Every structure is written in structure tokens, then in C-alpha cells.
Amino acid sequence: MKRRSCVYAEQDYGATDAPVMVLLHGYGANSSWWQANLASLSCSHHVYVLDIRYTSALEHMVADLVDWIVNNKGWQRPLTLMGHSLGARLCLQLAIQIPHLVERLVLVNPAVGLPEVPVWAWIWRCYQARMVSKHPEDIKKLFHSVGPVSSWKWVLRGLRTPMPNTLIHIPTLIFWGERDPLFPPRYSARLHSCLTQGTILQIAAGHCIMRDHPELFYQAVSAFLLSSPVHS
């Protein structure tokens, strides 16, 4: 039986002739997590917001996203990828798989590693994330929207997989919440070593920076976009 694609819905905003930006949410989330950012981001970009199923191995999800970008959309000009948590990890994998189609990366609290902890410890960290988010109702949905219990297996396996030993030569802005219990700032060394043009911005926030601080988030993203303009 053919496996379903991880991409099950898409919405787009902004002028169709503007540079393309694709937003990927994290595990247990959905496209609405970007709602506070769409009006500002779509002023300068044609923004695509995807809804993703995290119910298969990360390598299968990357293959699905490559297929969506290359075959479904047929884009030939480089685009900007923006991802939150595990969505940021997918952005990194896409930058490795199709570097010629990725102009810039914006990574928000990226999921770049997980210690060898039991599942209950990971669930406790998700609960902690609720304590440091201004939108605890969204984190709460994690326990109701992740699909079957088996999906935890795929996510944990993906998180325990080391970052590829590949240098990424793409301008990258990384947001990191100083109070993020899921992926604390000390994890940044695992990511920064593979980025030759990476900038890390630590913020006094939890795991949902783009929702908790949308104005600050956009100011930093806007400055980054201006400092690394899309090639014509």
C-alpha cells in the first residue's frame, strides 16, 4: 500500500510574484501556530504554510517535502525555509538534500538532538513547555494531535539521529528560547558546527518564540531578510 505524503494541507498568502517562503510547524502543532506572523511575512514574500503529519520516519518526510517542492510546485528559484522545532530540523535536512533551491533558513527552537531519555521524560518536557509559553493551550494540543502512539517512536528516533556531517553554506538565522525545556540553548553547539553562515539569537522565552513574541520575531527576521537578499 502506498504511503501517504506527510503534507496534507497548504495555504498561501501574499503576492504570487514575490519571493517564496515556506513555513513548517513542529510535532503536535499545526499551521495555526504561524498565524501571528503571516500578515507581516506576506508583505514581502509569497508565504506557503503547510500542515504536516509526523507519523513516519524523518527521512520519508524529507522525501515527501522534496517531492512537494520539486514536482508539485516545480520551483526553480531558491526559496526561504522557516521551521519551528521539528519543522526546523526538516528545514535543515532539506537544505542538505536540495541546497540549490534553498536561499535562506530561519530556524525557531530547532529540534537538533535529544539525550537518551525514556519517553515519559520527553512527555514531562512537553508539559514543562506549557509552563513557559504564553499559549499553553497550543502545547496542550500536542497530546491530542500527534496521531497514534507509534508516532512518538519515529519522532524520538529522528531526534536521536545525529546531525549529518555536512556543512551547510546557507545564510541561517536561529532563534533560541533561553527557557526552552525541550531544546535548551546548550544544544546550539550541535547545530552551529555544521552552519558556516549561522547566527544565533537567544531570547528570554520558551519554546514558541514566534507566537509569544511576534513583533520581536518579525523585526529580527526582517533585518535578516534585508541583510541576505534573494538573488534575482
Close Cβ partners of 186 (under 8 Å, ≥ 6 residues apart) = none
Say what the pLDDT of residue 127 is.
Answer: 66
1 within some domain: no
CB distance 46 to 12 below 8 Å: yes
154 within some domain: yes
CA dihedral (65, 71, 74, 77) positive or negative: positive
What pTM, to 2 d.p., does this model score?
0.88
**Blockwise average pLDDT, block size 10, the chain, 232 residues:** 81 96 91 95 96 85 94 92 95 94 96 68 69 61 53 71 80 94 83 87 92 95 83 44
Say what the pLDDT of residue 150 is.
Answer: 59
Cell reading at 81 = 525555509
Say what the pLDDT of residue 183 is.
Answer: 85
Q: State the residue for C-alpha cell 524523518.
A: 58
CA dihedral (189, 190, 195, 196) positive or negative: positive
Radius of gyration of the chain (CA): 16
- The number of folded domains in the chain is 1
CA distance between the termini of the chain: 42
232 within some domain: no
42 within some domain: yes
157 within some domain: yes
The residue segments making up the domain with residue 104 are 7-227
196 within some domain: yes
Q: State the residue for C-alpha cell 507519523.
A: 55
Angle at 44 between CA 40 and CA 45, to 5 degrees: 95
Q: CATH number of the domain at 89, please.
A: 3.40.50.1820
DSSP 40-94: HHTTTSEEEEEEE---S-HHHHHHHHHHIIIIII---S-EEEEEETHHHHHHHHH
18 within some domain: yes
205 within some domain: yes
Cell reading at 19 = 519571493
Say what the pLDDT of residue 146 is.
Answer: 52
